[in-house]
Amino acid sequence: MENIELYIKRIFKLANRNKELNQQMNEIVARYNFIQNQNDKYLNLLSNFTFEEEEGVKPRKKIHRFNRASLLYASIEGFGNLSDNSKAMPLMDKLDELQLAMDIISKKYNILKIKTVGDIHIYGAGMLEENRTNPIEVILAAFEMQQAAISINGGDNNTAFWEVSIGIHTGPVLAEPTGRKSAPYRLAGDAVNFTSRLSKASATGKINISAMTYELVKEFFVCAPSGRMPVKYKGLMDTFYVTGFLPNFEDAGNKGQKNRDFDIKYSLIQFLDIQEDVLDMMEKSLPENLFYHNIKHTIDVITGVELIGWAEGLCEQDILTLKLAALFHDSGHMVNYEEHEFHGAVIAKNMLDKYNYPEDIIDTVCRLIMSTKMPSDPKDLLEKVICDSDLDYLGRTDFIPVSNMLYQELKDRGMVVSFSEWNKKQLSFITKHQYYTDTAQNLREVNKVMQIERLQRLLAIESNVE
């Protein structure tokens, strides 16, 4: 009894915390939408001013706003020591190698090269594809750029000739398309100037980041205050040096390299971008008469696996795997109704391959999707969690409206004829059904019994009428 009370208290605590976070998120989104609408209004007005009076003058392209991009200014240092150096020409060859390596690294992390001004290289993360993880990716790229400078210098950081000083800032960026591949955008806004100053204020060979970037990456990297910088209209803003990975995220056998725990925490943030893409795809491609197996059900299952998973004491990797499986578990309805689990697993594998997920996580995601196929027979705790979440509605207070949606969906496909027949099938199914996890049993079993009694009374009334 004591364990049950602890479970229930833990669930209520998680539920209340989720409610608070959702309320805070809604408030932030409302403020953001108001500001965004104002900005869009001003940008639309600005875009109308295209000076076309002179013949042959092309109108300016509409300015694009990136809501959260991370700019990286990399300044290559060392020219002060190049004069009269006997190895000047070989050193210039090394400089070319370093510049090429920096461009290759930026492509690896899907970071756009904006332009080169002398030996200052400007990159933009989150501009080729807007995402939530670009502040982390740009720090990883900065690490590799500095490591490339060390390697090209012969692997000795103490005698390095060329060094890379980097400034990074995350925030809204205005960009005007240029139509050129080599420099696709002309940037404007405070973010550009501020990032440039961060680079100039950085000590040689250091990575200097803004307070905004710091807030988005501090849970991954070791950061130390580097000072305060005056920003127009905003006063003094804190700046920080990034010096490496936090100890729990660094590979124990390979100093300066991230470990599996880093990847999992990163992927939990990346999940929001994947979720957005999958739900958009489902919204466009799911049949209109999919009244139950729709986006709402998918979101319900994602919420369910997270709630039950944490309550069951699962780790972050297990929670991530369950959320991915929940996201894709009904995506196969875009292809086929009867075999949707199989098609959902195929869609998940193809998409997660593109995001470079490890094979073991992809295999587990596919296995969990297939475990939701009826009749369910879960083999381990992860399968039990997703099966309980998939049929969570059986023990919820909204059982009636949700089951009515499922009835309408099956009726449209000729899989059930009358409402009376449906109630008999529902009663048979719910009577045989069982929740597998302690959490679901404690949360849903009582209400499920009430639904069974309600269906029994309803069928008894129908029988007497006949």
Place 327 in a pLDDT band, splitting at 50, 70 and 90: very high
Classify burial at 176, counting beta carbons within 10 Å of its beta carbon; exposed 0-12, middle 13-18, buried 19 or more: middle
Distance of alpha carbon 310 from alpha carbon 271, whole angstroms: 17
Containing domain of residue 264, as a range? Answer: 259-390
pLDDT recorded at residue 54: 47
The reply to whether 404 and 362 lie within a common domain is no
pLDDT recorded at residue 243: 94
Examine the pLDDT at 36 and tell me if it is beyond 60.
no
Structural domain contains residue 59:
no
Torsion of CA 174, 178, 182, 183, to 10 degrees: -30
Place 52 in a pLDDT band, splitting at 50, 70 and 90: very low
Residue bearing the bigger pLDDT, 69 or 82: 69
The string of pLDDT tens digits covering residues 9-20 is 666 666 666 666
The reply to whether 239 and 276 lie within a common domain is no
The reply to whether 220 and 132 lie within a common domain is yes
Distance of alpha carbon 164 from alpha carbon 136, whole angstroms: 19
The reply to whether 385 and 263 lie within a common domain is yes
Structural domain contains residue 99:
yes
pLDDT recorded at residue 67: 85
pLDDT recorded at residue 163: 83
For residues 223 and 209, the answer to whether their CB atoms sit within 8 Å is yes
Write out the two tokens for 445.
Answer: 């079993």
Write out the two tokens for 149.
Answer: 């400078």
Place 333 in a pLDDT band, splitting at 50, 70 and 90: very high
390, 416, 436: which is the final residue of a domain?
390
CA nearest 89: which of 161, 35, 22?
Answer: 161
The amino acid at 284: K
Classify burial at 306, counting beta carbons within 10 Å of its beta carbon; exposed 0-12, middle 13-18, buried 19 or more: buried
Structural domain contains residue 48:
no
Top mean-pLDDT range of 13-17, 49-53, 184-188, 292-296: 292-296
212, 230, 249: which is the final residue of a domain?
249
Residues 6+ apart with CB under 8 A from 411: 417, 422
Residue bearing the bigger pLDDT, 439 or 154: 439
The string of pLDDT tens digits covering residues 370-379 is 999 999 999 9
Long-range contacts, 5-8 (Cβ 8 Å, 24+): 7/311, 7/438, 7/439, 7/442, 8/442, 8/443
CB atoms near residue 230 (< 10 Å):
9
Q: Which stretch of 47-61, 249-263, 335-349, 452-466 has the lowest confidence by average pLDDT?
A: 47-61
The reply to whether 79 and 18 lie within a common domain is no
The reply to whether 83 and 179 lie within a common domain is yes
The amino acid at 114: I
Structural domain contains residue 254:
no
pLDDT recorded at residue 53: 43
Q: Which residues pair with 238 in a beta bridge?
A: 228
Distance of alpha carbon 145 from alpha carbon 74, whole angstroms: 9
pTM of the model: 0.81
Q: How many CA atoms lie within 13 A of 77 on its CB side?
A: 17
The reply to whether 135 and 208 lie within a common domain is yes
The reply to whether 227 and 356 lie within a common domain is no
pLDDT recorded at residue 234: 72
The reply to whether 171 and 233 lie within a common domain is yes
Share of the chain above pLDDT 70, in %: 81
Q: Which residue has the tokens 């998918």?
A: 298
**Residue 200 sits in a domain of what CATH number?**
3.30.70.1230
Q: Which stretch of 152-161, 204-213, 319-328, 400-409 has the lowest confidence by average pLDDT?
A: 152-161
pLDDT recorded at residue 49: 47
Residue 174: phi, psi to the nearest 5?
-95, 130
The reply to whether 8 and 93 lie within a common domain is no
Strands 163-177 and 207-210: parallel
For residues 204 and 163, the answer to whether their CB atoms sit within 8 Å is yes
Greatest CA separation for the chain: 106
Summarize the confidence of residues 199-212 as an average pLDDT.
91
Structural domain contains residue 73:
yes
Residue bearing the bigger pLDDT, 155 or 165: 165
pLDDT recorded at residue 37: 59
SS3 sequence of 95-140: HHHHHHHHHHHHHHCCCEEEEEECCEEEEEECCCCCCCCHHHHHHH
What is the phi-psi region of residue 255: left when phi exceeds 0, alpha when psi lies from -120 to 50, beta otherwise?
Answer: beta
Place 2 in a pLDDT band, splitting at 50, 70 and 90: low
CA nearest 134: which of 220, 48, 69?
Answer: 69
Structural domain contains residue 49:
no
Summarize the confidence of residues 412-437 as an average pLDDT.
91
Place 34 in a pLDDT band, splitting at 50, 70 and 90: low
The string of pLDDT tens digits covering residues 263-278 is 999 999 999 999 999 9
Classify burial at 378, counting beta carbons within 10 Å of its beta carbon; exposed 0-12, middle 13-18, buried 19 or more: middle
pLDDT recorded at residue 349: 97
Examine the pLDDT at 32 and tell me if it is beyond 60.
no
The reply to whether 84 and 192 lie within a common domain is yes
Write out the two tokens for 309.
Answer: 């998973």
Q: What's the chain's average pLDDT?
A: 85
Structural domain contains residue 53:
no
Burial 2-33 (b: 16+ CB within 10 A, else e): eeeeebeebbeebeeeeeeeeeeeeeeeeeee
358, 390, 422: which is the final residue of a domain?
390
Examine the pLDDT at 56 and tell me if it is beyond 70.
no
Residue 337 belongs to what H/E stretch? none
Examine the pLDDT at 324 and tell me if it is beyond 80.
yes
Examine the pLDDT at 200 and tell me if it is beyond 70.
yes
The reply to whether 316 and 453 lie within a common domain is no
Place 181 in a pLDDT band, splitting at 50, 70 and 90: confident
The string of pLDDT tens digits covering residues 294-305 is 999 999 999 999
For residues 316 and 265, the answer to whether their CB atoms sit within 8 Å is yes
Distance of alpha carbon 340 from alpha carbon 338, whole angstroms: 6
pLDDT recorded at residue 390: 96
Distance of alpha carbon 329 from alpha carbon 338, whole angstroms: 13
Strands 185-188 and 163-177: antiparallel
pLDDT recorded at residue 6: 64
User: How many domains would you assign to the chain?
Assistant: 4
Distance of alpha carbon 316 from alpha carbon 248, whole angstroms: 14
Structural domain contains residue 106:
yes
pLDDT recorded at residue 444: 93
pLDDT recorded at residue 359: 95
Summarize the confidence of residues 68-76 as an average pLDDT.
92
Summarize the confidence of residues 349-368 as an average pLDDT.
95
pLDDT recorded at residue 28: 58
pLDDT recorded at residue 162: 76
Provide the 3-class DSSP secondary structure of residue 192: helix
Top mean-pLDDT range of 26-40, 112-126, 186-200, 438-452: 438-452
CA nearest 321: which of 390, 282, 367?
Answer: 367
Give me the helix-helix angle, 134-152 and 88-108, nearest 10°.
160
Summarize the confidence of residues 197-211 as an average pLDDT.
90
